[in-house]
Chains A and B, each alone.
Chain A
Amino acid sequence: KQEVTQIPAALSVPEGENLVLNCSFTDSAIYNLQWFRQDPGKGLTSLLLIQSSQREQTSGRLNASLDKSSGRSTLYIAASQPGDSATYLCAVSTHLNTGFQKLVFGTGTRLLVSP
């Protein structure tokens, strides 16, 4: 059974800092890994998608890496801003018994960036 763990559970930093969020998963048989952002009371916004054959993806100040063999991914946020405050969720796409796919989520990292 696939399990996804995110560390730390919460993080508070001053504006401008570079930071790293960690995600680990127990089964390396994944199709891809996706990082999401969730604002309080809102749905999920996709940030980055890394295919299982890829090592990293970048979008603006965000960079996500994937080491499938070791079951790890990191999300790097450069020059953090108060608007980055949110919960960040890591999810891996894995197979269902029926052969179709599903996302398995970590419990998230709650980030607070103070001005």
Chain B
Amino acid sequence: SQTIHQWPATLVQPVGSPLSLECTVEGTSNPNLYWYRQAAGRGLQLLFYSVGIGQISSEVPQNLSASRPQDRQFILSSKKLLLSDSGFYLCAWRGWSETGYTFGSGTRLTVV
């Protein structure tokens, strides 16, 4: 069966520090991968999506970047965090033969 792993679960980082969040998927190949952010009191917003290794598209301009170094690995990064980067970050995948989305357990990021 397919599973999705996200880590860390929680993170407290000072303003200006770097960020690296990792997401890996098991049990499927060539999945579509997504990074969403859920800010306090707001809905889920799509940040990045990837349809293959090295293929990253951004939905909104921001302080973050994403990379996909392996087929089932998706990384969210920042060189210098801002207070506005605080939120709940969720990774999701959708396989080519599936039409539903599966989400990871999320990372709660607090920038102080």
What's the Cα separation between A103 and B100 when bound, in Å?
10
Q: Inside 8 A of A104's CB, which chain B residues have their CB?
A: 46
Q: Is the CB of A101 within 8 A of B94?
A: yes
Q: Is the CB of A34 within 8 A of B106?
A: no
Interface string of A95-108 (1 = CB under 8 A from B): 01010111111111
- Select from chain A the residue with minimum beta-carbon distance to B107: A43
What's the Cα separation between A46 and B51 when bound, in Å?
22
Q: Inside 8 A of B99's CB, which chain A residues have their CB?
A: 31-32, 49, 51, 93
Known: A43-B106, A100-B32. A34 touches B42 (CB 8 A): no
Interface string of A16-27 (1 = CB under 8 A from B): 000000000000
B57 proximal to A (CB < 8 A)? yes
Give the A interface residue count (CB, 8 A).
26
**Among candidates A34, A96, A106, residue contacting B101 with C-beta atoms closer than 8 Å:** A34
Interface residues of A (CB under 8 A from B): 31-32, 34, 36, 41-46, 49, 51, 89, 91, 93, 96, 98, 100-108
Give the B interface residue count (CB, 8 A).
25
Given A31-B99, A44-B90, A100-B49, 18 other A-B residues pairs in contact with their CB atoms under 8 A:
A36-B103, A41-B108, A42-B106, A43-B103, A43-B104, A44-B92, A46-B101, A49-B100, A89-B44, A91-B101, A96-B57, A101-B94, A102-B34, A102-B46, A102-B49, A103-B46, A103-B92, A107-B43
Expressed in whole angstroms, the minimum distance between the Cβ of B76 and any Cβ of chain A is 15
Q: Is the CB of A98 within 8 A of B101?
A: no
Q: Is the CB of A100 within 8 A of B101?
A: no
B77 proximal to A (CB < 8 A)? no
What's the Cα separation between A42 and B106 when bound, in Å?
7
Expressed in whole angstroms, the minimum distance between the Cβ of A97 and any Cβ of chain B is 9
Give B96-112 interface residues, CB cut-off 8 Å to A: 99-106, 108
